[in-house]
Structure 1
Amino acid sequence: MAYRETEKMRQRKALAREKIINCTYECVAEGGFRSARITRIAGLAEVATGTIYRHFESREDLFAEVFQLATQKEVDKVAEALNTSGDAAARLEAALRQFAGRALRGPVMAWSLLAEPVDPKVEEERLAYRKAYASLFEKTIREGITEGCFPDQNAQQSSTCLVGAIAESLVGPLSLTQPNRENEDNDPLVDAIIRFCMQGLTGTRR
């Protein structure tokens, strides 16, 4: 008789997989992907290292899934800000402020998502999520052009430039070589980033 996996066994496997993902996420939030060693993850998850490879074909596959999970949370927060009330310019400014503010409040995770050297499979996910941000911004820029908030422009190109500008402007402050910024007043930095981005879109000083 062929072996049949019971529902209880499937639930146990699902819980073990979830715990591995959560522990990996915790390691990345504390010290980046470089600190997420398989032996450490296994210890936190209270499983053998071989168990991790029964759920994920490779370390890169595990990291890619954790990257997806972490970045989707940030994309969702930006989407929420873009769905608030106000004209397109106000909503876009709120979304950019959300992006930059959350990054500076969680600098280690933000550095890991934006700039930390990673494996090719994780880098593919990074590029995919940059496109996701750009898509959200593009839609709002198009709405702003229709509303008259923004001058006529190539919304797709502008959104790509916007993602690049805000991400690059955060790399230095988020660098692990910089002092811990979690308890600093980041408002002036965030204001400067927003001012630059909005001036680029509107062509006027703010």
Structure 2
Amino acid sequence: MAYRRTETVVARLAETRERIVVAALKLVAKEGYGGAGIPAIAAEAGLSTGALYRYFPSKAELFDEVFRRGSQREIDVCAEAASQPGPARQRLARVVEVFARRALKGRRLAYALLAEPVDPLIEAERLRYRLPYRDIFVGIIEDGMRAGEIAEQDALLTASAIVGALNEALIGPLAPQAKKTDQEKLIHGLALFCVQALGPMPGRKL
């Protein structure tokens, strides 16, 4: 008869795996991917290095899960901000401000998620996780076009450009060696740029 894990064993394994991911996410937020070594993560999780490898066979696989977890948390917050009522331009500005403010508050983690050199496996996930942000902006733009608040345009193209601009504009200020910046000015400037990317109100000339 094949061995079947009991519910208690399955729950214990899941709890330990979760503890490892939480420990890794904590260290990445503090030290970045480069500074979060497996021995340190194991110690933070209260495990031996060997025990950790039984849950995650490689550092790349563990960090891939950390990236997924950290990215999804930010996507969920931005989606919630987008769901709040208001004109399309106001909603877009709100999402941009939330994204930028959270990134600047958790600079080390944000830099790790956006730009820090990583394993190719994580880099692939990084590109994939830009798509939910793009889709959030597509939804806002399409809502605005239906309401007559935004001129007809290629919503996918505009949304993709906004995501690219956000990432590119924040990489420098988030970098570990970056000089101190006026965060409120940066956030306001980003929101203004992204709103202006929607073009003039329908009926108004450029």
Q: TM-score, normalised by structure 1?
A: 0.92
- Matching of residues 95-174 of structure 1 within 5 Å: 95-174=95-174
CA shift at 1:4, angstroms? 3.5
Aligned mates of 1:91, 1:173 — CA distance in 2: 24
Aligned mates of 1:111, 1:81 — CA distance in 2: 22
- Matching of residues 190-201 of structure 1 within 5 Å: 190-201=187-198
Aligned mates of 1:4, 1:138 — CA distance in 2: 46
Aligned mates of 1:174, 1:155 — CA distance in 2: 28
Aligned mates of 1:126, 1:151 — CA distance in 2: 31
Equivalent AA in structure 1 for residue 109 of structure 2: M
Q: Which residue number corresponds to residue 30 of structure 1?
A: 30
8 Å CA contact retained: 1:100, 1:190:
yes
Q: Which shows bigger deviation, 53-62 or 107-116?
A: 53-62
Q: Which shows bigger deviation, 99-108 or 54-63?
A: 54-63
The runs of 5 or more residues in structure 1 that have no matched partner are none
Equivalent AA in structure 2 for residue 191 of structure 1: H
Equivalent AA in structure 2 for residue 141 of structure 1: I
Structure 1 runs of 4+ off > 6 angstroms?
none
Aligned to 1:148, the other structure's residue is in SS state coil
2:44 is the counterpart of 1:44: yes
Aligned mates of 1:76, 1:164 — CA distance in 2: 19
Aligned mates of 2:100, 2:194 — CA distance in 1: 12
Equivalent AA in structure 1 for residue 37 of structure 2: R
CA shift at 1:167, angstroms? 0.9
Distance change >3 Å, CA 203–CA 168, structure 1 → 2: farther
Q: Which shows bigger deviation, 106-115 or 8-17?
A: 8-17
Q: Which residue number corresponds to residue 76 of structure 1?
A: 76
8 Å CA contact retained: 1:134, 1:160:
yes
CA shift at 1:202, angstroms? 2.1
CA shift at 1:152, angstroms? 1.4
Aligned mates of 2:48, 2:35 — CA distance in 1: 18
Aligned mates of 1:2, 1:68 — CA distance in 2: 33
8 Å CA contact retained: 1:111, 1:175:
yes
CA shift at 1:143, angstroms? 1.1
Q: How many residues align?
A: 201
Aligned mates of 1:157, 1:195 — CA distance in 2: 18
Aligned mates of 2:169, 2:200 — CA distance in 1: 19
Q: Which residue number corresponds to residue 204 of structure 2?
A: none
